[in-house]
Structure 1
Amino acid sequence: MKKFTIIKNDSVQEFTLNLDSIVTNTVVIRKKGTQMEWINGIGNEQPFHEIIEWIDDCTYRLTYDESKMELDEMKKWTNDNNGIVVSKRRIEKNCMFYNATMTTNSGETISQNGVICKE
């Protein structure tokens, strides 16, 4: 499950997205300005290819790399709305706690808090 907050004008709405119960983990590999993500580990389906654009030392923007993969409607919509801005909140041991935010072209702000850990 992933919990999201949507802010539009003076309205705040929270919703929880129920993910497929067979999704157990995501493997992320970064190299320079790119990131690849595999659902349920490397070798299971094709990875998502993403472009990392660093804004500052603690903040970066993720967009999907359409030169390396075919984008579904959700990934196209994400790119059309300037991608996802990820801000590091804190580091504890091997884990980064972050806030991921997308501000849509219609003025909505969608955000999620999460954690990613290094093995």
Structure 2
Amino acid sequence: MNKVLVLIFLLAGLTSCSQNLDCTGFKQGGFIIPNDTTEGTTSYRIIRNDTLQTEIDSEGVKRYSKIKWLSDCRYILLYDEDKMLLNDFQKKVNSVGGVIVEVIKIEDNCYHYTSNIKGDPPSERINGVMCKTLSQKVCK
């Protein structure tokens, strides 16, 4: 009986401390993904409206993606072949259904995410941070 009560209190404590995520503020605007040498990513800017995203790397190269929202905090990115010529990797990503991104934590104007490429077997998860900037430009 004591073990059951301890388990109930433990579960209640964990759920009461979990963050209730509101990701609606991250569906549009300007963002930056800072350089993260542990994950092998370089810094780049993102301009996003609800369904389109433009990524601009440190050399000014642009990549265009379409966004399909699965929930307020989970979405799929597919490279936009109407706006750019896809390389082999981008074609492969699109052929298996895209990159699934899930917001796992929000701190101030930044969110922490985990992402992986759909498919069988799924790719290794990549963790990162995306921060909203003051720029509120929207993709065209």
With normalisation by structure 1, the TM-score equals 0.74
Q: Equivalent residue for 1:67? A: 82
Query: After superposition, what is the alpha-carbon deviation per residue over 1:34-86, rounded to whole angstroms, capped at 9, x for unaligned?
Result: 00000017xx23x1000000001110000000000000001001101100010
Correspondence for 1:36 among 30, 54, 77: 54
- 1:109 corresponds to which residue? 122
Runs of 4+ in 1 over 2 A off after TM superposition: none
Quote the offset at 1:103 in angstroms.
2.6
Please give the secondary structure, in 1, of the residue aligned with 2:94. Answer: helix
* Match 1:55 to one of 44, 55, 70: 70
The alpha-carbon deviation at position 31 of structure 1 amounts to: 1.5
Number of residue-to-residue matches in the alignment: 96
Q: Normalized per residue, which structure has more helix?
A: 2
- Provide the C-alpha distance between the structure 2 equivalents of 1:76 and 1:66, rounded to a whole number of angstroms: 9
Structure showing greater relative contact order (alpha-carbon pairs closer than 8 Å, 6 or more residues apart): 2
Counterpart of 2:130 in 1: which secondary structure?
A: strand
SS of 2:89's equivalent in the other structure is helix
Aligned to 2:19: none
Q: Secondary structure at the match of 1:69?
A: coil
How far apart are 1:32 and its partner, in Å?
A: 2.3
Gaps of 5+ in 1: 4-16
**Could you say what secondary structure the match of 1:109 adopts?**
coil
Q: Aligned partners of 2:87, 2:117: CA distance in 1, in Å? A: 18
Q: Equivalents in 1 of 2:105, 2:96: separation in Å?
A: 26
Q: From the CA coordinates, give the structure whose radius of gyration is larger.
A: 2
**Using a 3 Å threshold, how does the CA distance of structure 1 residues 2 and 81 change in structure 2: closer, same or farther?**
farther
Structure-2 separation of matches of 1:77 and 1:2: 25
Backbone CA RMSD of aligned residues: 1.6
3-state SS of 1:66 partner:
coil
Whether 2:44 is the aligned partner of 1:26: answer yes
Q: Which has the higher strand share?
A: 1
Identical residues among aligned pairs (%): 31
Paired with 2:88 and 2:122, the residues of 1 have a C-alpha distance of 19
- The one-letter amino acid paired with 2:121 is E
